Amino acid sequence: MSAVAAATEVSRPSVCKELGDRAGLGRALVLRETRGFLEGVARTLHSGLPDADPRPTARRLSLMTLKVLR
């Protein structure tokens, strides 16, 4: 929690008040990453007219999924 406070330039008590404990920090991280992933999926799926060939879209989604999993 101290490292998070230092990285975000707020006090440790502020971090603890916002997140509670390490489990709260973990939940916040998972929610942030999930939100980013789903926003990327939405951008990929709604990036204009559908491809005549679905493989480019499937490839973009696969690459995005791999990026998230790394």
As a dihedral over the C-alpha atoms of residue 29, residue 32, residue 38, residue 43, rounded to 10 degrees, the angle is -140
What burial class does residue 17 get, using C-beta atoms within 10 Å of its C-beta: 0-12 exposed, 13-18 middle, 19+ buried?
exposed
* pTM: predicted TM-score of the whole model, two decimal places: 0.60
- Tens of pLDDT, residue by residue over 8-46, are 999 999 999 999 999 999 999 999 988 888 888 787 777
Q: Per-residue confidence at 65, pLDDT binned at 50, 70, 90?
A: confident
